[in-house]
A and B are shown apart, each in its own frame.
Chain A
Amino acid sequence: MLGYIVRRLMWAIPTLAFVSFISFVIIQLPPGDFVTAYVAQLRNGGEYITDMQEALLREDYGLNDPLLVQYWRWISNILFYGDFGRSLEWNAPVSELIWERLALTLVLSTISLVFTWIIAIPVGVYSATRQYSAFDYIFTVFGFLGKGIPDFLLALILMWVAFIWMNLDVGGLVSPQFEGKPWDFDKIVNMLSHIWIPLVVLATGGAAGLIRVMRANMLDELRKPYVETAYAQGFGERTVVWRYPVRVALNPFISTVGWALPALFSGDVITAVVLNLPTTGPLLLQALKMQDMYLAGSFILILSVFTVIGTVLSDILLALSDPRIRFS
């Protein structure tokens, strides 16, 4: 078991190195660089900037060095000092800008993942054990709808419904009057009235797909002889179903937890832009548009790291829950 975990962790290291390099290259891809975008913005604002000043700026930010040098400077600082560089646009250390947003994204993603599972597993089991019942059909329709409706559209519609019929002011994580205030009871209550929309949006998307997977897995397992054996031994339906086939049917779930994380981050990006949430999405979008490379690169890097960690975790979980994998 330990050997398996160590081997799995060793694999993660080259992947992480590669991911970090790719994320840096992606940020560098666009023609021009941050200074081009920045100067264009200043000129739009009516300021006068000579080519000389532009060149000086570029020199200051070290943008003239070869790509590999820039990458090394960036990654070595992260590795040795935990310093993600400065956001050129915000003129502040990247770490100051991102941790709060990342934490929020992580909290939001985790809660919606838990919600997804709480919804998907029982519903999937129910749909499979009561196949072709009325509720099975209802859940099937729900599953397909959840798969078909893009996250941002669902967010828009929920926002609209909440606004028209419930007269709620939605968007953002807290109402404007609580913005920037310390966390107290009122603010938390206020946040709860806002947070349900992103949670519903993120959880439906995920749950819709997982219900289908769970149902299909359960249907496969329920037909196997060991289920019949269990019934023959005189156990009730509840015991049989939850003790045997569910455990096997959960395997694909566990092995895709790692992919659920990036999917949640992806869903979060667009939902957050629509709902104006203070998570990573809007900041990443802005950073990409401005070619604020350290900020955007760090974001993509950290999100990818979470994903790689998620995959490793799910592999370990899978090995724990299924001895066949552990010993192969």
Chain B
Amino acid sequence: MTDIQTFDRLSALPATPPLAPKEAARDENVYTAKPWTLIWWRFRKHKLAVVSLGFMITLTLLAIFADFMSPYLPGTFNKLNTFAPPSVVRVIHDGQLQRPFIYPMKRTRDMETARVIYQEDRTKVLPVRFFVEGETYNLLGLVETKTHFFGVDDRRQQINLLGTDSLGRDLFSRLLYGARVTLSAGLVGVAFSFVLGLALGAVSGYYGGWLDSGIQRLMEFIRSIPTIPLWMGLAAALPIAWDPLFVYVLITVILSLIGWTHLARVVRGRFFSLKTEDYVLAARLSGASEYRIVTKHMLPAMTSYIIASLTLAVPEMILGETALSFLGLGLRPPVVSWGVLLQDAQNLRSISLAPWLLAPGVAVVLVVLAFNFIGDGLRDAADPYGQ
């Protein structure tokens, strides 16, 4: 019914005049646009998703160039700067506008409790400088350089945007380095479960029959084991002595062992509904091989769904990694990940002493939310021809 109405309206309209308003031109475009353009248009409507996408791109860039963007190296400790509170970047000194600066911190001790107290010294100004010389590092493992994006030019004082931990290591720098491990663990884990889920889901949905019910039972079985105890059991099986990098890969494999069932379910469902579509039948009748039907005709029809469910799977992986590392079963120091950083914030005493140690937790929440929003936006946009 709606089709006919639209048709009437369109045929009643004269051809688009040359100086048609933009809106009308856009309407015409809808009929000729490529699927991915349509998906992007619909995705753009989900404002939160677009903001989240921007946030994730920024964060990824920060993580890739972590050694340049961070003022210090993640392992550099400073025993005269332990549990320093975050430095506040200001622009007004003595009522006058200045270029961004921080006040130097004075370290004293409480005479009664012997606890270290930091106080801002409001008389001096430490301007924040860009492209300062600092510790030597290899940019992207290629170029040896000393230039950091920002920092302060002082021998004693440090700029700690998020404060320091019990060894006086700069939390902001560690957070950026940790983003590398945590984000990539999520992505690698999803990549593993993508391969497993796609293969098993496709087989299950395309062939059906006993193969399908077998795979279904396997998935049910995997889901019937409580996730965290299973993860804990497997993660506890990794010996402490192994190379941290190897442990990292194994942890992502463990995380994806459970994650693939979700994806397989989505893929299987799509295969079931696509199998009976006319164009699949047409392809079969014209003699296309099964491999060709699956890869050339069916998979492209569900790419956007797969991408959407992959995006929604990333936060699960990140939460899993964080939880395992937090319990001390996942990644271990000296590897820096957000879960490892949160180990410092495990008890009430350190949190009440240094609340900024929870910053990696805030980062986890933001990233998980961002991925959820992006996934939501993608899921809405996944079928650009609907409606």
Contact = CB atoms under 8 A, between A and B. Distances in A.
Question: A and B: partners?
Answer: yes
A153 B361 contact: yes
A266 interface: yes
Interface string A286-319: 0011010000100110011001100100000000
Given A19-B221, A30-B239, A304 B226 contact: yes
A265 interface: yes
Nearest to B345: A156
Interface stretch (B110-118, B162-170, B364-372): B364-372
B228 A29 contact: no
Nearest to A305: B224
Contacts of B220: 15, 311
Residue of B233, B315, B352, B373 with highest tally of chain A CB at under 10 A: B233
Contacts of A114: none
Residue of B237, B238, B351 with highest tally of chain A CB at under 10 A: B237
Given A148-B369, A149-B365, A150-B364, A269 B315 contact: no
Interface in B319-364: 319, 322-323, 326-327, 329, 342, 345-346, 348, 351-352, 355, 358, 361, 364
Interface stretch (A45-53, A82-90, A159-167, A244-252): A159-167
Contacts, number: 130
A153 B229 contact: no
A183 B238 CA distance: 41
B372 A144 contact: yes
B99 interface: no
Interface string A27-53: 101111000000000000000000000
Nearest to A26: B233
B323 A270 contact: yes
B322 A150 contact: yes
B225 interface: yes
Interface in A137-195: 144-145, 147-153, 156-157, 159-160, 163-164, 170-171
A171 B361 contact: no
B288 interface: no
A26 B237 contact: yes
Given A23-B233, A29-B237, A153 B365 contact: yes
Residue of B238, B346, B348 with highest tally of chain A CB at under 10 A: B348
Contacts of B249: none
B37 to A, nearest CB: 27
Nearest to A309: B224
Give the contact-size bracket for chain A: 35 or more
B225 A300 contact: yes
Contacts of B236: 30, 288-289, 291
A18 interface: yes
Contact of A148 (B226, B346, B358, B372): B372
Nearest to A296: B233
B225 A304 contact: yes
A206 interface: no
Contacts of B352: 160, 163-164
Interface of B: 217, 220-221, 223-230, 232-234, 236-239, 315, 319, 322-323, 326-327, 329, 342, 345-346, 348, 351-352, 355, 358, 361, 364-366, 368-369, 372-373
Interface of A: 15, 18-19, 22-23, 26-27, 29-32, 144-145, 147-153, 156-157, 159-160, 163-164, 170-171, 258-259, 262-263, 265-267, 269-270, 273-274, 284-285, 288-289, 291, 296, 299-300, 303-304, 307-308, 311
18 contacts: A19-B225, A23-B225, A26-B237, A145-B365, A147-B368, A147-B372, A148-B315, A148-B369, A150-B368, A153-B365, A262-B225, A262-B226, A270-B327, A285-B232, A285-B329, A288-B232, A288-B329, A311-B220
Given A153-B342, A304-B224, 12 more contacts: A19-B221, A26-B233, A29-B234, A30-B237, A147-B369, A152-B342, A153-B364, A267-B228, A269-B229, A270-B323, A270-B327, A289-B329
